[in-house]
Amino acid sequence: QVQLVESGGGLVQVGGSLRLSCATAGRTRTTPAMGWFRQAPGKEREFVAAISWNGGSTTYADSVKGQFTISRDNAKNTVYLQMNSLRPEDTAVYYCYAAPKLAAVVAGTSGSWGQGTQVTVSS
């Protein structure tokens, strides 16, 4: 079982940027695919972005394409989410997620969750 610890959330003004980090710990047989989800108040958790185990493939929710970028540094066991041009509707708790395959990350199945980090965009 992999442990995930997010950081980098906070309060930012509209149009600002933040970079979230997710550090992984624990032993796994293979390097997992990783992703980010978010949950706004009163809404269901939704997929944001995912990246394959070697960073060769990425996928994004339509709502963040061109605005967010997911990347990873396997030497540091860390995945990042660069968020630019932030809007009030990006306000949410952001969760890191790890699963064996990219498709499982996108579906939010068969994986492990981090504890979440709050992102608040003020207007």
Predicted confidence pLDDT, tens digits, the chain (123 residues): 789 999 999 999 999 999 999 999 877 778 899 999 999 999 999 999 999 999 999 999 999 999 999 999 999 999 999 999 999 999 999 999 999 999 999 999 889 999 999 999 998
Cα 71 to Cα 57: distance, rounded to the nearest angstrom:
10
Structure tokens given for 40: 């706004």
pLDDT of 105 reads 95
Contact between 114 and 90 under an 8 Å Cβ cutoff? The reply is no
pLDDT of 55 reads 94
